Structure 1
Amino acid sequence: MPAILIDTHAHLNFSPFADHPEPYLERARQQGIGAVIVPGVDIPSSEKALELAERYTMIYAAAGIHPEDSGTFVSDHLKILETFCQHEKCVAIGETGMDFYREYAPEMMQIRAFQGQAELAKSLNLPLIIHNRQADAPIMNILKKVDYFKGQCHCYTGKVDFARQCLEKGLLISFTGLVTFAREIRDTVSQLPLEALMIETDSPFMAPIPYRGKTNEPAYVRRVAETYGEIFGVTCDDVAAITTQNALRLFPKLTLNEG
């Protein structure tokens, strides 16, 4: 039997999945996916992720405030997130982080939201799911200040040097379908150890080849695994075994499920 894959980041709490995820989950099962982590980006989407996790065995949730929503962040959000995190299927805090590619919110607001969630993650001993675009130094400064490096650098698109710095601190890194067609992403992956990587789709965004231009979905995470195999010269089963064990280690509340 092929090794089981885990899609460590898929927004099944977004359209077109949220109301009727069944066909997408069935296609994922057919491709050997045993679990899907659905992160929140604000309070309502975190609540939706938990609702989906309660309804479907293979779905797990994360609860967090995305940088895009950090401008509306208030301290009460941390209390709500803490309540969400008590759920047995809430495996992480996220998607959180910082983003200066777009003017989502002033830097101090992003710092406040991310640091608050990092401190909460440390207090609960839960991993962080970290969104980072053009924010290497501020993110690392906050993680050092909080002294907490249990987490996932999700949808990594940065430089190799910063990736290695993250790995040295104990963070794990995941890549999306971009690796199937973006040469610079493929080059970055090739310079990192497979033993520190995970896989994800970031559905419904960034569909891999040969599905570019279509809605991305968890079933397509197999294409990410296959591309890792091409890069590292190993089988897809080898990639699945390593990346799945990495995910199970980072997210200890997650278990593999059949169906």
Structure 2
Amino acid sequence: MLVDSHCHLDHLNLDDNHSSLSSILDDARQRGVGAFLGVGVDLNSSARLIELADSNRDVLVSVGVHPLQETLPALPEVDDLIRIASHPAVVAVGETGLDNYHSPDSAAWQEESFIRHLKVADQLNKPVVVHTRQAQQQTLAILRAHVNQDVGGVLHCFTETWAMAEAAIAMNFYISFSGIITFRNAAALREVVKKVPLDRLLVETDAPWLAPVPYRGKQNLPGHVIEVAQMVADIKGISYQQVAETTTANFSALFLSGQLFRHS
């Protein structure tokens, strides 16, 4: 069994070779994907994912307001985040974080939003899902100041340095890799994969974006997490089965206190 530890199920294009979200999830299940973490990008997105989780036992949810916004909204209110994150299908807070690559002009908004998400995660004793790009020192500084290290979290779709990964692991974080590690120009990132201990590693699709080889140029789907896991196995020189078993156990340890599912 494998877990897609980060996908945006409510953003999939259902006209793209599939008739329904159910068929996309069924295809992934038939490939051996046993659970999906649907990640919200705003409160409406988070609510849609909770509805999906209510009817799909293998879908779990992380709720939050993504740091990249086409139109900068009002800062998320802590009370609103607590309310939606208290649903039993919600196992994490985020996606939140900092992005100085795509949106450096909104740095102040991103930092305050990030801190608010961390406060909510701390209050609810839930891990945090962090987006970080070209903001290594700022991200680490905010985590050191505000994260609940007893609970930790994950740096998702990781593209930064081993030094950052190592610092995050020291704060009880996991490092999650996406299909980017299959790209021809990702040799440096594959070196980071080699160094991240397997017991601190997760795999994800970030669907519908960042489809791995051999699907580049097409919509990414949750079932493509298989290719990510296989690349991790190839990089580390271990079996696919070992990657699948360990990353599934890691997912369970981080998000579900060692249990496979939290809700029915």
TM-score class normalised by the smaller sequence: over 0.9
Which residue does 2:198 correspond to in 1? Answer: 194
Query: Could you say what secondary structure the match of 2:10 adopts?
Result: coil
**Letter paired with 2:148:** Y
2:232 is the counterpart of 1:228: yes
Q: Which moved more, 1:97-106 or 1:201-210?
A: 97-106
Q: How does the TM-score come out when normalised to structure 1?
A: 0.92
- In structure 2, relative to structure 1, the CA distance for the partners of 1:63 and 1:31 (3 Å cut) is same
Which residue does 2:91 correspond to in 1? Answer: 91
**Letter paired with 1:116:** R
Cα distance between partner residues in 1 of 2:35 and 2:187: 28
- The answer to whether the Cα contact below 8 Å between 1:198 and 1:243 also exists between their aligned partners in 2 is yes
**Letter paired with 2:74:** F
Q: Aligned-residue CA RMSD in angstroms?
A: 1.9
Number of paired residues?
Answer: 253
- The answer to whether the Cα contact below 8 Å between 1:160 and 1:191 also exists between their aligned partners in 2 is yes
User: What is the CA distance between 1:102 and its match in structure 2?
Assistant: 1.7
Deviation track 1:192-243 (CA, whole Å, cap 9, x = no partner) reads 2111100000001111111111111111101111111111111111001110
Query: Could you say what secondary structure the match of 2:148 adopts?
Result: coil
Equivalent residue runs for 1:37-48 within 5 Å: 37-48=37-48
Deviation track 1:150-172 (CA, whole Å, cap 9, x = no partner) reads 10100000011111111112100
Deviation track 1:71-109 (CA, whole Å, cap 9, x = no partner) reads 323353x22221111111111001110111022653221
- The answer to whether the Cα contact below 8 Å between 1:176 and 1:206 also exists between their aligned partners in 2 is yes
Aligned-pair identity in percent equals 34
Cα distance between partner residues in 1 of 2:103 and 2:122: 28
- The answer to whether the Cα contact below 8 Å between 2:140 and 2:167 also exists between their aligned partners in 1 is no
Which residue does 2:6 correspond to in 1? Answer: 9
Cα distance between partner residues in 1 of 2:14 and 2:98: 26
Cα distance between partner residues in 2 of 1:72 and 1:92: 22
Give 5+ residue unaligned stretches, structure 2: none
Equivalent residue runs for 1:69-148 within 5 Å: 69=69, 71-76=72-77, 78-103=78-103, 105-148=105-148
User: What is the CA distance between 1:56 and its match in structure 2?
Assistant: 1.5
Cα distance between partner residues in 2 of 1:200 and 1:251: 14
Give 5+ residue unaligned stretches, structure 1: none
Query: Could you say what secondary structure the match of 2:218 adopts?
Result: coil
Cα distance between partner residues in 1 of 2:255 and 2:14: 23
Cα distance between partner residues in 1 of 2:245 and 2:261: 12
Cα distance between partner residues in 1 of 2:39 and 2:147: 23
**Letter paired with 1:246:** N
Deviation track 1:19-59 (CA, whole Å, cap 9, x = no partner) reads 93111111111111110001111111111111111121211
Cα distance between partner residues in 2 of 1:156 and 1:201: 12
Query: Could you say what secondary structure the match of 2:241 adopts?
Result: helix
